[in-house]
Amino acid sequence: MKKIEHIGIAVKDIEKSNELFKALFDKAHYKIEDVESEGVKTSFFKCGPNKIELLQATNENSPIAKFIEKKGEGIHHIAFAVDNIEEEIKRLTEQGFEMIHNVPKRGADNKMIAFLHPKSSNSVLIELCQDIRD
């Protein structure tokens, strides 16, 4: 793993949260994107070299809707950048980590993604992210 790619925060209302984080960071979000496969709308902020991803559910079956129902708004996941997501999934599986996604899929912000199950990572949801190469 190369670095923390972003921190994902589950929110109920992305527009209100965009205003809150705009005031916090003194700059507006740089991208809003729907990820239909995950049932979420995302909004990205830059904070120095780091990124924050706000996630709002777009349907009640979304993992974000279930997260907010169970835990409320807050930090949902930490994402790490990787060079080769398939190799990283294989390496982590061989080390005994349980994956939610054994095959990477398209995520927001031009990334291929896969999640580790939090029960194998001290209850922290970890996302692997690889830039999609054109």
Q: Where does the pLDDT of residue 7 fall: very low under 50, low under 70, confident under 90, or very high at 90 and above?
A: very high
* pLDDT reported for residue 133: 79
Q: What is the pTM of this model?
A: 0.91
CA distances from 96 to 89, 92, 117, 119 (A): 11, 6, 11, 11
134 pLDDT higher than 80: no
* pLDDT reported for residue 131: 94
Return d(Cα 89, Cα 91) in angstroms, integer. Answer: 6
User: What does DSSP assign to residue 30?
Assistant: S
Indicate the helix (H) or strand (E) that contains 69.
helix 63-71
Q: What percent of the chain has pLDDT over 90?
A: 90
Q: What is the pLDDT of residues 17-75, one digit of tens each?
A: 999 999 999 999 999 999 998 899 999 999 988 999 999 999 999 999 999 999 999 99
Mean pLDDT of 85-113: 95
Mean pLDDT taken over the chain: 95
Q: Number of C-alpha atoms within 13 angstroms, CB side, residue 107? A: 24
* pLDDT reported for residue 10: 98
**Considering only CA atoms, which of 71, 122, 61 is closest in space to residue 97?**
122
Mean pLDDT of 111-129: 95
